[in-house]
Structure 1
Amino acid sequence: MSHVTLARPVGRLLRAATLATLLAGTGAAAVLAATPKDTLVVAWAIDDIITMDPAESFEISAGEIMGNTYDRLVRLNIEDPSKLYGDIAQSWTVSEDAKLYTFKLKPNLKFASGNPITAEDVAYSFQRAVKLDKSPAFILTQFGLTKDNVEQKVKAVDPTTVTLEVDKPYAPTLVLNCLSANIAAIVDKKLVESKAQNGDMGYGWLKTNYAGSGPYKIREWRANEILALERNDNYHGEKPKLPRVIYRHVKEAATQRLLLEKGDADIARNLTPQDLQALAASKDIKTTDRPKGTVYYISLNQKNGTLAKPEVRQAFKYLIDYDGLGKTLLKDIGIVHQNFLPVGLLGASTDAPFKLDVDKAKELLAKAGLSNGFKVTMDVRTVQPVQGIAENIQQTAKRAGIDIEIIPGDGRQTLTKYRARNHDIYIGQWGADYWDPHTNADTFARNPNNADDAATKPVAWRNAWDIPELTKQTDAAVLERDAEKRAEMYKKIQAEFRDTSPIAIIYQMNEVAAYRTNVEGLRVGVTSDTTYMFNVSKK
């Protein structure tokens, strides 16, 4: 079990009755009691969290933790995602050739450790992320940064000035938006290097520890159980209104609702349409929602010869009951959507050519020589609505002669298997890492190297989908400076993706958070890292 070792256990920070509730599900009996006034308790399925290192963290739940605990040069404006504001950057300039970015840091900044934040820390953070080369590193390496050149391309000019040199004249909005992503979080070089072992740049230590400067600091993490944040008194901006936030891993939506109703949780995050309907009449509970830059999809591994047949790929798109799901499992929490760009991003298409058509699917399967169907497995994270969608697809596929065996697992298990390309079928979600269309085009419609040992491993690679021509189109779109032309390029890419890909987009998430009426300031972000708990207070 992964955990952060701390000076004081989080239990001492909570009243005994609430602690018993937090430990329910691990063997202790639940005690119904209000949460402490100075602590925000969030019931959420956080079993997808694998690491606390921003250079490696690439999961939805972990993204939110990173957004609340680490600073970066710039941040997304959650009220208007088309705009950015300086986080630790006071100002920035872009050279005329759009290849050199210069950032001036705000003065007198400190990490949670008390160490000063300098341009050297910024340069080190970028260099470390590129050299470690973990899953999200491509967000930086796409700009020509490599292990060999990153120390020359990202430099501390003086204690408060850092420069970034990119290899091509990308749209500056793309580069800056990428620098708002978690991979660009700033880590405390002095602290991290003091924990380094055998030149690992603190990688072993930071997987379960903290070295940031954000509004909150990570106090304790017990995988699949609890994650505690504590106010960072060295934070440069307005301090969080609450001293601490406790994320409790609660997989079942019904249990989240019960905890919320009884006052044992302040916020619930994975509620089903049925749960939301049940809460609608409560005077003690409110909801807030927002369309999110997250899409859910089903993908077919092209290493499986049967699933690699073009007709099979298309058949699966006609075996999804989009309308039925939209009216039941996804009601209020999702918007039926068949394109990899979520609505809200430049060039997002709303075309939806597919609907449940078992006869059409059978025709396609017959063309592929599979009139008698076949057997296949599907890896599924056991949370709603993913599990319900999987069971729904299992039933519709059966009508076309496809026998799907569902293999359940927690978020870490299914993700690890998926990232190793060891699945047959996978149902996943992808949240925008930054607010630019390339964030999703780069993973769904780009696969520069389909080899097993490829350095870049986007969703297309995870499903062994070799697409050199579509990759070229995506590479061209990222260099187009005219917004209208660029939008049209992405619409063309999405159309080809719908027609040929082994991936069917099912819906765009409309995230709903239910909360007790004494909670104020809760606002769902458009990306996984922009739901800011540091803005939340309790009456």
Structure 2
Amino acid sequence: MKLDHRFGPAGLALAAVLTLGAAPSALMAATPADTLVIADKIDDIVSLDPAEAFEFSGVNIVNNTYDSLIELDPNKPGELIPGLAESWDVSEDGLTFTFKMKEGITFASGNPVRAEDAAWSLQRVIKLNKTPAFVLAQFGFTPENVEEMIKADGNTVTIKLAKPFAPSMFYNCLTAGLAAIVDKETVMANEVNGDMGNEWLKNNSAGTGAYVLRSFKPQDSYVLDRREGYWRGDAKLKRVRVNHIPESATQRLQLEKGDIDIARGLSNTDVAGLEGAADVKIETAPKGYIYYIAANQKNEILKKPEVMDALRWAVDYKGITETVLKGQMMVQQGFLPAGYLGSLDETPYSLDVAKAKELLAAAGYPDGFEVTMTVRNDQLRMEMAQAIQNTLGQAGIKVTLKPGAGAEVLGDYRARNHELTLQSWGPDYPDPHTNASTFAWNPDNADEAKLTGVLAWRNAWDPGELTAAVDAAVVERDTEKRKAMYEDMQRKFRDDSGFVPMFQEIAQTALRANVSGFHTGGTIDSATYWYTEKN
């Protein structure tokens, strides 16, 4: 292997690190003091272009190589802070947002950051119309009107919306990866056939972030180099390498040996096996995924309120988190993950078989009933489903499990062909509307509406007044009032819907004891590397 002269005295050690994914253990070495080495599953990466990246691993890279107009503070979850804009404001009618750009910041290329770059970056998202574009398109932007609605004037960016939205909603969406500001001059110099540099940005970076993409090998690894002179202050570590290591046992072995600094894909068994190790620590943080049972309201039995209440009291929430899930999830009985505006920490339901039986009798089913529950056939979900099957059976609800591949189970769900189904849902952007608009909003419950992206519609559940409540909350300008609106609609949803929300996923990250300052991103942000250091 030919070593890059920039590796310096640590070159030989880094060379060993660069082959972690394929080298036998005898060739592995401790990680260099200036390099962070992470094991993770990164085969979800489709593109590194901020306008296209929408998978967790890809957005993690975007978060560390680009900045946005406004951002979330990794040290204060949920708090908005200035990014490339030093200040921002909204007009009285809620339609026009203005952002004043900071002076003196440059892209990695050395090009100055201009308001023109910021406006063009947001326009580009709409014009390319890749997967995440809907996050901005919901504000009324189209390829035809976006140049009129998003403009640069001097060092100010002006954005006009088609109709008023809650300012917090718009600001939250601007913290998503797709709103990263890219270097227009560099990107357009690499344009091919009118693609606005998309093909080039799939494997390159052109941002202002703390790191610059050095290399990316799909389903293998990526390497980020520190950008000297970063406007926030240089990153603590010179280099970050993330290896695609999907096997939990391999991650654990490499962590124990010191061949990696962080393991991000450990099973609960391997996490438990590391507890008490002197040179390893486990850190936890909530993730955005909500696990729930959906009960098809076309089913004459399941549509009865007493039956739905019986389901809620027939789940052993605490027992499942302690035995099956073992620290991988926590009880969450609202549709918003902890950390989101308006999320609830109330958990009024617990296992009460006697109460569930009483409710079934009141519904006209003193001897219970039989029902089928579809579930993806991976180990964790199957174990969860079996535990639910057991306690529902104790109450008299005889559940037949119907396992299947993800596409098969989702196909039944989207076609409204399920009875019960065990599912999970992750937010699309860091604002409560992302979940409220799918769990508690359904303007047309007819089969012909085919609102397949709306979970309430998939479940044939008419939320009634909640649909209007969701529409009202997304335009409420007072953030505290908006927060209270989501709290109220979640309580109504929790107690009177065709869903049984149960758990929220928890990230369990294993680190070498000398590593500090690593942020997973929690429920509303992406991983942050630039605060990470080794002691």
TM interval, short-chain normalised: 0.7 to 0.9
Point out where structure 1 has 5 or more consecutive residues left out of the alignment: 1-6
**Do the aligned partners of residues 79 and 386 (structure 1) sit closer, same or farther apart at CA in structure 2, a change above 3 Å counting?**
farther
The question of 1:505 aligning with 2:504 is answered no
Task: Measure how far apart 1:317 and its partner are.
Answer: 5.0
Q: CA deviation at 1:157?
A: 1.1
In the alignment, which residue of structure 2 is the partner of 1:225?
A: 220
Give the 3-state SS of the residue equivalent to 1:35 in structure 2: coil
Q: Which amino acid aligns with 1:260?
A: L
Alignment partner of 1:288 is 2:283 = yes
Distance 1:392 1:259, change over 3 A: farther
Aligned counterpart, 1:118: 114
| Structure 1 match to 2:56 | 60
Q: C-alpha displacement at 1:137, in angstroms?
A: 2.9
- Judged with a 3 Å threshold, the aligned counterparts in structure 2 of structure 1 residues 449 and 203 are, in CA distance, closer, same or farther, namely farther
1:18 and 2:12 matched: no
Is the counterpart of residue 473 in structure 1 residue 463 in structure 2? no
In the alignment, the residues of structure 2 paired with residue 119 and residue 456 of structure 1 have an alpha-carbon distance, to the nearest angstrom, of 38
User: Alpha-carbon deviation of 1:299?
Assistant: 5.7
Q: Which residue of 1 aligns with 2:291?
A: 297
SS at match of 1:21: coil
Distance 1:59 1:313 in 2: 34
Q: In the TM superposition, what are the counterparts of 1:224-373 in structure 2 within 5 Å?
A: 224-233=219-228, 235-290=230-285, 292=286, 294-298=288-292, 300=294, 310=303, 317=312, 320-356=315-351, 360=356, 363=360, 373=370
CA-CA distance at 1:47 after TM superposition: 4.0
Q: Give the structure 2 partner of residue 201 of structure 1.
A: 196
- CA 486–88 in structure 1, closer or farther in 2 if over 3 Å, else same: closer
Amino acid at match of 2:303: P
* 1:155-194 superposed matches below 5 A: 155-158=151-154, 160-194=155-189
2:376 corresponds to: 379
Identify the match of residue 85 of structure 2 among 69, 85, 89.
89
Please tell me whether the aligned partners of residues 110 and 234 of structure 1 are also in contact (alpha carbons under 8 angstroms).
no
Corresponding position of 2:70 = 74
The sequence identity of aligned pairs, in percent, is 41
Report which of the two structures shows the higher radius of gyration computed on alpha carbons: 2
Closer, same or farther in 2 for the Cα pair 1:327/1:237, shift >3 Å? same
Separation of aligned partners in 2, 1:319 and 1:440: 25
2:295 and 2:499 in contact (8 A); partners too: no
- Report the equivalent of 1:129: 125
Greater mean deviation of Cα atoms: 307-316 or 33-42: 307-316
**Kept in 2: contact 1:298–1:426 (CA 8 A):** yes
Rounded Cα–Cα distance in structure 1 between residues aligned with 2:101 and 2:308: 50
- Report the 3-state secondary structure (helix = DSSP H, G, I; strand = E; otherwise coil) of the residue aligned with 2:426: strand
Give deviations 1:5-41, integer Å, cap 9, x for gaps. xx99x9x9964543443226xxx66755312333211
Count of aligned residue pairs for this structure pair? 519
Secondary structure at the counterpart of residue 102 of structure 1: strand
Contact 1:143–1:168, Cα closer than 8 Å, also in 2: yes
For residue 432 of structure 1, report the CA deviation from its aligned partner: 7.1
Q: Aligned partner of 2:399: which letter?
A: I
CA contact (8 A) 2:74 2:528 kept: no
| Counterpart contact for 1:335–1:509, Cα < 8 Å | yes
Q: CA deviation at 1:74?
A: 1.0
Tell me the equivalent position of 2:534: 538
**Displacement after TM superposition at 1:122 (Å):** 1.2
Distance 1:329 1:281 in 2: 21
| Cα distance per residue 1:428-474 (max 9 Å; x no partner) | 3425732x433432343335688999899465567676657533211
Structure 2 counterpart SS, 1:508: strand
Partners of 1:244 and 1:327 lie apart in 2 by: 38
Q: CA deviation at 1:96?
A: 3.2
With over 3 angstroms needed to count, the CA separation of the structure-2 counterparts of 1:376 and 1:134, relative to structure 1, is: farther
- Give the TM-score taking structure 1 as reference length: 0.80
SS where residue 50 of structure 1 aligns? coil
1:42 aligned onto 2:41: no
Q: Distance in 1 between matches of 2:523 and 2:517?
A: 17
Please give the per-residue CA displacement for 1:189-225, whole angstroms capped at 9, x wherever unaligned.
3343344444443444434443332112333344443
2:17 aligned counterpart, secondary structure: helix
- 68-77 or 163-172, which deviates more: 163-172
SS of equivalent to 2:20: helix
Instruction: Identify the range of structure 1 (313-322 vs 126-135) with the bigger mean alpha-carbon deviation.
Output: 313-322
* Alpha-carbon distance change, 513 to 489 in structure 1, aligned in 2, over 3 angstroms: same
Give the AA of the match of 2:185: K
Q: Secondary structure at the match of 1:283?
A: coil
Instruction: Kindly provide the CA deviation profile for residues 200-254 of structure 1, in whole angstroms up to 9, marking residues without a partner as x.
Output: 4344443444333211233334444323322234743312222221222333434
Q: How many angstroms apart in 1 are the aligned matches of 2:372 and 2:526?
A: 41
What's the secondary structure of 2:94's corresponding residue?
coil
SS in 2 for 1:210: coil
What's the TM-score once normalised by structure 2's chain length? 0.80
Amino acid at match of 2:343: A
* Cα distance per residue 1:42-95 (max 9 Å; x no partner): 122334433323223333333333221221001112333353221111222333
Most deviating of 370-379 and 498-507: 370-379
Residue aligning to 1:406:
403
Q: SS of the residue aligned with 2:172?
A: helix
Asked if structure 2 preserves the Cα contact closer than 8 Å seen for 1:337 and 1:506, the reply is yes
Tell me: CA distance 1:406–1:40, structure 2 relative to 1, closer, same or farther (3 Å): farther
Seen in structure 2, the aligned counterparts of structure 1 residues 102 and 314 have a Cα distance that, compared at 3 Å, is same
Question: d(CA) in 1 for partners of 2:191 and 2:392?
Answer: 50
Structural mapping, 1:143-158, within 5 Å? 143-158=139-154
Relative to structure 1, is the Cα distance of residues 391 and 449 closer, same or farther in structure 2, using a 3 angstrom cutoff? same
Q: Does residue 488 of structure 2 align to residue 495 of structure 1?
A: no
Label 1:340 to 1:376 Cα distance change in 2 as closer, same or farther (>3 A).
closer
Aligned CA distance change for structure 1 residues 375 and 193 (closer, same or farther; 3 Å): farther
Q: Distance in 2 between matches of 1:500 and 1:389?
A: 23
Distance (Å, rounded) in 2 between the aligned partners of 1:130 and 1:220:
27
Q: 1:334–1:372: structure 2 CA closer, same or farther, 3 Å change rule?
A: closer
Structure 2 counterpart SS, 1:378: strand
C-alpha distance 323-239 of structure 1, shift in aligned 2 (>3 A): same
Q: Following TM superposition, by how much is the alpha carbon of 1:396 offset from its aligned partner in structure 2, in angstroms?
A: 5.9
